[in-house]
Amino acid sequence: MPSLLEALEQKYGDPVDSDSSPDADSAGISVAIFVPCKSPRAAVPALLVLNDCDIATAGEREALVAKCSNVEELDLAKNKLDQWTEVFGILEHMPRLKFVNLSFNSLSKPIDISLDKRWDELRNLVLNSTYVNWKSVQKILDHLPNLEELHLSLNDYNNVNLHDTNTTECECSENKNDNCDCQNVALQKKHSVIRILHFTGNPINNWREISKLGYAFPNLESLVLAKCPIKSLDLNEEESNEGLNTNCNKGSQNGLNSNSKNESPYDAFKSLKILNLNSTNLSSWDDIEYLAKFPSLQCVRIQGCPLWESNEYTEYERRQLLIARLPNIQTLNGGGGITAEEREAAERAFIRFYMDKPESDRPERYSELVQIHGKLDPLVNVDLRPEKRVRITFTCGSNSEIKSVDIYRTVSDLKQRLEGFAGFPASKMRLFYVDQDLRDIQGPELMRYPSKQLFSYNIRSGDEIIIVCKQETKRRTHSESK
User: Domain for residue 435, yes or no?
Assistant: yes
Among candidate residues 373, 405, 430, the one where a domain is terminated:
373
Is 135 in the same domain as 75? Answer: yes
Greatest pairwise CA separation for the chain in angstroms:
103
The mean-pLDDT minimum among 56-70, 93-107, 226-240, 386-400 falls in: 226-240
* pLDDT, averaged across the chain: 82
Residue 33 has what pLDDT?
55
Give the pTM. 0.68
Q: Nearest-CA neighbor of 278 among 299, 253, 248?
A: 299
Is 76 in the same domain as 156? Answer: yes
Is 299 in the same domain as 273? Answer: yes
Whether residue 21 has pLDDT greater than 60 = no
**pLDDT, tens only, 168-183:** 344 444 433 444 444 4
Q: Nearest-CA neighbor of 67 among 48, 84, 88, 89?
A: 48
Is 368 in the same domain as 464? Answer: no
pLDDT bucket at 115, cuts 50 / 70 / 90: confident
Residue 293 has what pLDDT?
94
Among candidate residues 373, 402, 417, the one where a domain is terminated:
373
User: Domain for residue 347, yes or no?
Assistant: yes
The mean-pLDDT minimum among 65-69, 82-86, 266-270, 282-286 falls in: 65-69
Residue 379 has what pLDDT?
57
Q: How many structural domains compose the chain?
A: 2
Distances (CA, A) of 265 to 48, 115, 129, 278: 41, 36, 27, 18
The answer to whether 60 touches 5, Cβ cutoff 8 Å, is yes
Is 308 in the same domain as 444? Answer: no
CB-count burial class (<10 Å; 0-12, 13-18, 19+) for 52? exposed
Is 194 in the same domain as 314? Answer: yes
Residue 17 has what pLDDT?
44
Average pLDDT over residues 8-28: 57
Give the CATH number for residue 465: 3.10.20.90
Q: Nearest-CA neighbor of 233 among 265, 202, 263, 204?
A: 265
Residue 10 has what pLDDT?
85
Is 426 in the same domain as 347? Answer: no
Whether residue 53 has pLDDT greater than 90 = yes
Query: Considering the chain, what percentage of its residues have pLDDT values greater than 90?
Result: 53
User: Domain for residue 250, yes or no?
Assistant: yes
User: Domain for residue 179, yes or no?
Assistant: no
Residue 279: domain span: 47-162+184-236+243-256+264-373
Is 345 in the same domain as 289? Answer: yes
**pLDDT, tens only, 322-331:** 999 999 999 9
Give the CATH number for residue 66: 3.80.10.10
pLDDT higher for 190 or 139? 139
Whether residue 232 has pLDDT greater than 50 = yes
Residue 178 has what pLDDT?
42
Is 278 in the same domain as 205? Answer: yes
Residue 67 has what pLDDT?
86
Sheet hosting strand 274-276, strand order edge to edge: 47-49, 73-75, 99-101, 124-126, 149-151, 196-198, 222-224, 274-276, 299-301, 331-332
Residue 474 has what pLDDT?
56
Residue 87 has what pLDDT?
94
Is 281 in the same domain as 416? Answer: no
User: Domain for residue 33, yes or no?
Assistant: no
Interatomic CA distance for residues 357 and 336, integer angstroms: 32
Question: Residue 137 is inside which H or E element, if any?
Answer: helix 134-141
Is 317 in the same domain as 466? Answer: no
Question: Three-class SS string for 245-310?
Answer: HHHHHHHHHCCCCCCCCCCCCCCCCCCCCEEECCCCCCCCHHHHHHHCCCCCCCEEECCCCHHHCC
pLDDT bucket at 113, cuts 50 / 70 / 90: confident
User: Domain for residue 289, yes or no?
Assistant: yes
Is 336 in the same domain as 224? Answer: yes
pLDDT bucket at 165, cuts 50 / 70 / 90: very low
pLDDT higher for 391 or 379? 391
Whether residue 13 has pLDDT greater than 60 = yes
User: Which range in 37-51, 348-362, 381-395 is most confidently predicted, on average pLDDT?
Assistant: 348-362
**pLDDT, tens only, 261-312:** 578 999 999 999 999 999 999 999 999 999 999 999 999 999 999 998 877 7
CB atoms within 10 A of CB 78: 18
Residue 355 has what pLDDT?
87
User: Domain for residue 472, yes or no?
Assistant: yes
Whether residue 241 has pLDDT greater than 90 = no
Residue 455 has what pLDDT?
86
User: Domain for residue 383, yes or no?
Assistant: no
Among candidate residues 342, 373, 404, the one where a domain is terminated:
373
